[in-house]
A and B are shown apart, each in its own frame.
Chain A
Amino acid sequence: MSGGKWLRRLQFGVLATLASVLLAGCGSDYVVLNPKGPVAGTQYDLIMISIILCAVIVVPVIALTAFIVYRYRDTPDNKATYKPNWDHSTTLEIIWWGIPIVIIAILGYFTVRDTYALKESPNKEVKPITVQVTSLDWKWMFTYPEQNIATVNYLQIPAGVPVQFHLSAEAPMNSFWVPELGGQIYAMSGMTTELYLQADEPGEFQGRGANFTGEGFAHMNFNVKATTQEEFDQWVKEVKGTTPAMTKEDYEQLKKPGLTEVATYSSFPEGLFEEIVAKYGHGHPVDASEIRTYGDKKDETSAPQMPNMNMTPGMNH
């Protein structure tokens, strides 16, 4: 079999598939590649930077592979140089230890920069609103402490305003993901995680759970609706006026394993989220003001306090 022929065919197949994927990336189904907010925007830029930096290596290497395999095939008519004992070249080896190091250094710079940046609110001028997210079997509960309303499997937010999510769970750990607004974070029992997202324009986005939680996991989808601030306030008012209040019993009912429809509640038991967190928080009472994220500088520099330690995953005991 001729080596060059089948390799070229293979190359073509790979490149064609990659190209079709990237071109198709313009379609709106490609939610990760259609950022609708600053967080997803930052992540989109990083994805593009990393694709380009990787392509700088991948494309020449694949071309070089094709060339070498074709050029040095063992056929009677091939007159290419044959040096069976040539096995070392310091210059060449320095080059290919060097190239990846340079690429990784550049990529590392962007990675570290944005890792720190995404811990902060993406929009310092506007005061963020807070939404508490609880993952249950198999539904998402959203409580709005500032508005004192609650929803299930539905999230409405004002566009142009950063949303600070506090996340926890009273079920196996899940991951909260709204791809068009930005990447995900885990929701885990006994601790809170924190995530900032923001929608730039009004619109509807898909949200979903991304970490397997058992039987009903595939159905943990929810709609995210971003509206103007006025419409959001209007919606809050409507919810307050027209929907039932969530009682403790309602919550107990809600957290039982099973699927539920979208629901809205005009209020929820005070401190519900904090209670859920504290319930699995290793027996130490957790004050609402103590609920911070791990990345909080203050926590790292201050003397270790038990309630905060609770929230650092994997650092206990």
Chain B
Amino acid sequence: MWESFLEFCSWFFVTGDPLIYGAMVSIALTMVAIVFVLTKYKKWGWLWREWLTTVDHKKIGIMYLIASLLMLFRGGVDAILMRVQLAFPNLEFLHSDHYNAIFTTHGTIMILFMAMPMMFGLFNMVVPLQLGARDVAFPFLNAVSFWLFMFGAMLFNLSFVIGGSPDAGWLSYPPLSQNEFSPGPGQNFWIWGIQISGIGSLATGINFIVTILKMRAPGMKLMKMPMFSWSVFSSCIMIILAFPILTVTIALLYLDRFAGAHFFTMDGGGNPMMYLNLIWMWGHPEVYIVVVPAFGIFSEVVATFAKKKLFGYKSMVAAVMGIAILSFFTWAHHFFTMGTSASVIAFFAITTMLIAIPTGVKVFNWLFTMYRGKISFKQPMMWTIAFIPCFVVGGATGVMLSVAPADYQYHNSYFLIAHFHQVLIGGVVFGYLAGIYYWWPKLFGFKLDEKLGAWGFWLWNIGFYVCFMPQYALGFMGMTRRYYTYGWDYGWESLNLVSTVGAFLMGAGFVFQVWQILYSIKHGERDTTGDPWNGRTLEWSIPSPAPFYNFAVVPQVKETDDFWRVKEEKANGTYKEEPVHLEPIHMPKNSGLPFIMSVFWFIAGFGFVWEWVWMAAIGMIGVFLTMWARSFQYDTDYYVPVDEVRRTEASLGRVY
């Protein structure tokens, strides 16, 4: 009995690597610490009532943000480990298998479990406030989305200590990702971690499209909607068109692995190349899904801190919507080298180049928003200004990559690695950080410390260039991605070492940011006005942190930057005070079902991963039971009485 238990453990857990034993111990200690703190301070009930069952978009946004920062840490540690392994030739710090697992999880986590939730966090934190709405269109579904993401991410991360990490690259190209070459549960963890969180992403896409179309404050025509909400709209359209492709594609891959189907296998009539086409039909729009909201953030930040209207609003709208359409016609540029006909290659090369046009236009519009403005260099603006040169260079190398015959020389080389890190870090990460710094006071009621933030900013920026500029050169030196080691013969050693130093600088930047958050919780400048940056849009018209119902009175919108208009009219005395009277506010009730349903998804996913059908069945039955329970729930909403609204507002310093 004991022996068979030990044997079970030896394949169930990942064994044999001191790094992983260390991780197991630290995970166990963290869990114990969390349980201890929650029990000691009697916080279990609070956790359940305030967080696990919440349908408040702001709290969901905060949970997304915390989860994404944890994932940024995990993905960042992966990156540091890789850079250490590559710092010197022939280093034996990581074995091939371990290195392969690490770059696979680094890519998957950074895109799907870091960028996506950070983006969803910003959607949740900002969009309803910007639109003058009290919540998203489907608050319950929003909670479902979050918990599906959370449990999907947990399932994926579990593979690190249980069963073994996937190691076939972040997009798991078959035939490498098939049973024949990747036996064991690792690849299944990849499939089910993404599958479960992907359902959540699709639901979020639907939720925010409906929110934007149906929940805008009266008077806010689409063409008067703030630019960030426009970018969210564009991103969500891409989500609902692209994510079903991902779901189907990896479901087919799972059928190959689990049921012996032959969709993408090498033999039996399978076609691995089909998978490449399908996965990139999702994968290319995916990068625009994450970068377009960053463009929206920059548009808000630039107008606020240049104290000037956004230049070329109509152009900007045309550009984000144009990018949403074009993004679906470029996928084959990820494999120009597959040897298809010249006509196909030429088509995809041209469509790829076309994307540079609306993107370039946006850069000019941001620049001319600053032109004849008055620029103050607060943290969100610093990240925005740093973004422009970084993204312009990254965009230019993107155009270089789109030149198909030249791409034959860049493909899968470090030139490509440098390019996509430059647009994803310079564009997406800088953008989201700008957004987090910008909207932080609205969510938490205090600003993040400027001085520690400056340390973080400079370490990130210098570290970025030190890390990735040498990688362009390494690409020209013929260094291929996903090498776990290299010899002395190629002259790659010095630039690799420089690059590793850069990675550590960025890591240090992240440490400063964590310190900054912890420090600011206690010492950060409190925001008592609700409008710490002299903002332009509706979210700044309400107190910070925003009350749970957001707006005591739904605003009447007249202009694009409506709050700016109100402030201007008040300043020059033309503002007409409308008599306000409070009404009971209709709000959704909390529900534990999203959490419970996602736990069942997790159980089902775990069963699917190990191909334990009984466990998968239990999980799926649980999922359907919770859906069934939900469909007979009629008591899902309530009204906040006027008295309570008045009391809450008074406690926030607003008298009605």
- Show 13 residue pairs from A and B whose CB-CB distance is below 8 angstroms, ordered by the A residue: A32-B413, A72-B370, A82-B307, A97-B361, A108-B350, A175-B412, A185-B408, A186-B338, A188-B272, A188-B338, A190-B266, A212-B173, A214-B168
* A193 CA to B340 CA, complexed, in Å: 8
A185 touches B353 (CB 8 A): no
B642 at the interface (CB under 8 A from A): no
* A206 CA to B335 CA, complexed, in Å: 22
A313 touches B340 (CB 8 A): yes
Binary contact readout A82-102 vs B (1 if CB under 8 angstroms, 0 otherwise) = 111111110011001101110
A316 at the interface (CB under 8 A from B): yes
Which chain A residues border B376 with CB–CB below 8 Å?
73-74
A295 touches B340 (CB 8 A): yes
Which chain A residues border B410 with CB–CB below 8 Å?
32, 183
* A172 CA to B177 CA, complexed, in Å: 9
B175 touches A172 (CB 8 A): yes
A37 at the interface (CB under 8 A from B): no
Which chain B residues border A212 with CB–CB below 8 Å?
100, 168-169, 173, 176, 412, 481-482
Chain B interface residue count: which class? 35 or more
Which chain A residues border B350 with CB–CB below 8 Å?
108, 111-112
B620 at the interface (CB under 8 A from A): no
**DSSP majority for the B interface?**
helix
Q: Which residue from chain A places its CB closest to the CB of B167 in the assembled complex?
A: A214
* A212 CA to B410 CA, complexed, in Å: 15
A69 at the interface (CB under 8 A from B): yes
Q: Which of A89, A216, A316 is within 8 Å of B96, CB to CB?
A: A216
Closest 3 pairs between A and B when the two form their complex, measured CB to CB: A183-B408, A193-B339, A313-B273
A314 touches B411 (CB 8 A): no
Query: How many of chain A's residues have a CB under 8 angstroms from any CB in B?
Result: 115
B184 at the interface (CB under 8 A from A): no
A214 touches B100 (CB 8 A): yes
Which chain B residues border A274 with CB–CB below 8 Å?
none
B353 touches A184 (CB 8 A): no
B287 at the interface (CB under 8 A from A): no
Q: Which of A13, A42, A61, A283 is within 8 Å of B269, CB to CB?
A: A283
B50 at the interface (CB under 8 A from A): no
A32 touches B312 (CB 8 A): no
* A222 CA to B462 CA, complexed, in Å: 37
Binary contact readout A163-189 vs B (1 if CB under 8 angstroms, 0 otherwise) = 000010001110101010011111011
* Min CB gap A117→B, angstroms: 8
B339 touches A185 (CB 8 A): yes
Which chain A residues border B353 with CB–CB below 8 Å?
104, 107-108, 111
B393 at the interface (CB under 8 A from A): yes
Q: Which of B277, B372, B409 is within 8 Å of A43, CB to CB?
A: B409
B109 at the interface (CB under 8 A from A): no
Q: Which of A47, A57, A194, A215 is within 8 Å of B400, CB to CB?
A: A47
Q: Which residue from chain A places its CB closest to the CB of B278 in the assembled complex?
A: A314
* A208 CA to B477 CA, complexed, in Å: 12
Q: Which residue from chain A places its CB closest to the CB of B305 in the assembled complex?
A: A74
Q: Which residue from chain B places its CB closest to the CB of A108 in the assembled complex?
A: B350
A50 at the interface (CB under 8 A from B): yes
Q: Which residues of chain A have a CB within 8 Å of any CB of chain B?
A: 1, 3, 7, 10-11, 13-14, 17-18, 21, 24-25, 27, 29-33, 40, 42-43, 46-47, 50-51, 53-55, 57-58, 61-62, 64-65, 68-69, 72-74, 78, 80-89, 92-93, 96-97, 99-101, 104, 107-108, 110-112, 114-119, 137, 167, 171-173, 175, 177, 179, 182-186, 188-191, 193-195, 206, 208-218, 279-280, 282-283, 293-296, 300, 312-314, 316-317
Which chain A residues border B406 with CB–CB below 8 Å?
43, 46-47, 50, 183
Q: Which residue from chain B places its CB closest to the CB of A83 in the assembled complex?
A: B372
Q: Which of B388, B396, B407, B478 is within 8 Å of A57, CB to CB?
A: B396
B377 touches A81 (CB 8 A): no
A173 touches B272 (CB 8 A): yes
B339 touches A116 (CB 8 A): no
Binary contact readout B302-328 vs A (1 if CB under 8 angstroms, 0 otherwise) = 000011111111110000000000000
B360 touches A69 (CB 8 A): no
Q: Which residue from chain A places its CB closest to the CB of B355 in the assembled complex?
A: A104
Q: Which residue from chain B places its CB closest to the CB of A281 in the assembled complex?
A: B269
* A211 CA to B411 CA, complexed, in Å: 9
* A211 CA to B472 CA, complexed, in Å: 18
B473 at the interface (CB under 8 A from A): yes
* A99 CA to B356 CA, complexed, in Å: 11
Q: Which residue from chain A places its CB closest to the CB of B483 in the assembled complex?
A: A218
Which chain A residues border B412 with CB–CB below 8 Å?
175, 184, 210-212
* A247 CA to B473 CA, complexed, in Å: 43
B396 touches A184 (CB 8 A): no
